[in-house]
Amino acid sequence: MTLPHKVLALHDTMTMEAAYDGRPAKLFTLTNVSGMTATFMDIGATWLSCTVPVSGEGDKSCEAREVLLGCATMADHCKQTAYFGATVGRYANRIAHGQFTIDGETTQVAINHAGNTLHGGPEGYDKRRWTIESPSDSKLVFSLLSQDGDQGFPGNLQVKVTFELTADNTVAISYQAEGDKPCPVNFTNHAYFNLAGEDAGDDCLLHELTINADHFVPTSDAGIPIGVLKPVDQTGFDFREAKSIGQDLLSDPEQVLAKGYDHAFIMPPELTDGISDIAKAVSPDQKVTMAVQTTKPAVQLYTGNFLAGTKGTSGEYRIHQGFCLETEYLPDAPNHPEWPGDSILRPKQIYAHYTGYRFTF
């Protein structure tokens, strides 16, 4: 298929300047028979773009709607701190004080956010050049060797992430890793979605959202769990019935601390089979629906509470311009072994998890 103009332009503008390591990024675009595209780059194993064909208004023909936020140039990408579309690790989300204890041994890892570790540390996997393996029109595999002591994490870790654009319009993400020392491991993709269109100029608050979760994780103002799992019932965190993202925004003390939603929701185990929908979002014009499937025990809803002033593809973003649904182990789970899921990967074990974002248009 002929790629949409905005995708072709991204291949040019994102490679005009050098990345963190002094060389240009490599970009790849996956396509399917429905006319969808998904574009990735080797820096950060980053999901840069996702276009879906939607019908135009009146006599206008079908248009390729960009539903991901992101940057158009490497210079802007290197400046942003939003982790746009990146594969984040070694441990996604937060670890309190950058410390955890395994088998009686306490480890201190690099801190980079309010005295805690966020998304793997200051030089996380989002800033690495990943190796590309056997790309095709529909599938792309990235690999990375994270050495013992990387950001303070113990053990050599061999990582692979596979992106596939399927015939049923799913961006399917599979993670695999093996290490030689016990270590917390937790990967996610940090895509920001606006199903109305990246260039629509609208925030995400009119999107209709469903999250099939009975509990969420309250946190401090630094995003660190306070140690309890709270029912969503009779709170603004109750998305079990579809409602707009903005309907109950800032209606809870926990949200006020975070300036919006930036919280993990715990999935019922029977839904974490990689097939069942754990969440669903619908664009305000009802033209695009996105459903999420995963094998992870939780999903973090983030409503872009600190996006204001970030330069994006179509201009400067505003607060709440996009939302994230980051599938993951719970934040600070290495320090809460009683919580769902085992976030510690041990030698001879294989970390294997799946997340799918299925689009209907």
Question: What is residue 179's predicted lDDT score, i.e. its pLDDT?
Answer: 98
Catalytic residue among 254, 326, 328, 353: 326
Token pair belonging to 325: 């649904």
| Percentage above 70 pLDDT, the chain | 99
Question: What is residue 1's predicted lDDT score, i.e. its pLDDT?
Answer: 86
**Inter-residue long-range contacts of 102-106, CB under 8 Å, 24+ positions, other chains counted:** 102/182, 102/183, 102/334, 102/344, 103/182
Question: What is residue 177's predicted lDDT score, i.e. its pLDDT?
Answer: 98
Is residue 94 a known part of a binding site? yes
Instruction: Dump pLDDT digits (tens) for 216-234.
Output: 999 999 999 999 999 999 9
The rounded mean pLDDT for the chain is: 97
Has residue 57 got a pLDDT over 80? no
Is residue 190 a known part of a binding site? yes
Question: What is residue 58's predicted lDDT score, i.e. its pLDDT?
Answer: 61
Catalytic site includes residue 97: no
Is residue 200 a known part of a binding site? no
Has residue 203 got a pLDDT over 60? yes
Question: What is residue 61's predicted lDDT score, i.e. its pLDDT?
Answer: 79
320-326 average pLDDT score: 98
Catalytic residue among 190, 215, 263, 353: 190
Has residue 289 got a pLDDT over 80? yes
Has residue 135 got a pLDDT over 70? yes
Is residue 262 a known part of a binding site? yes
Question: What is residue 59's predicted lDDT score, i.e. its pLDDT?
Answer: 57
State the Cα angle at 134 between 75 and 129, rounded to 5°.
30
285-299 average pLDDT score: 98
Has residue 293 got a pLDDT over 70? yes
Looking at this protein, which amino acid is placed at residue 213? A
Instruction: Dump pLDDT digits (tens) for 159-198.
Output: 999 999 999 999 999 999 999 999 999 999 999 999 999 9
Which are the contacts of 127, defined by CB distance < 8 A and separation ≥ 6? 20, 43, 44
88-116 average pLDDT score: 98
Catalytic site includes residue 190: yes
Convert the chain into a string of H (helix), E (strand) and C (coil): CCCCHHHHHHHHHCCCCCCCCCCCCCEEEEECCCCCEEEEECECCEEEEEEEEECCCCCCCCEEEECECCCCCHHHHHHCCCCCCCEECCECCEEHHHEEEECCEEEECCCCECCEEECCCCCCHHHCECEEECCCCCEEEEEEEECCCHHHCCCCEEEEEEEEECCCCEEEEEEEEEECCCEECECEECCCECCCCCCCCCCCCCCEEEECCCEECCECCCCCECCCCEECCCCCCCCCCCEECCCCCCCCHHHHHHCCCEEEEECCHHHCCCCCCCEEEECCCCCCEEEEEECCCEEEEECCCCCCCCEECCEECCCCCCEEEEEECCCCHHHCCCCCCCCEECCCCCEEEEEEEEEEC
Instruction: Dump pLDDT digits (tens) for 239-266.
Output: 999 999 999 999 999 999 999 999 999 9
Matching CATH number, 5-360, of 1.10.3720.10, 2.70.98.10, 3.40.50.150, 2.170.190.11: 2.70.98.10
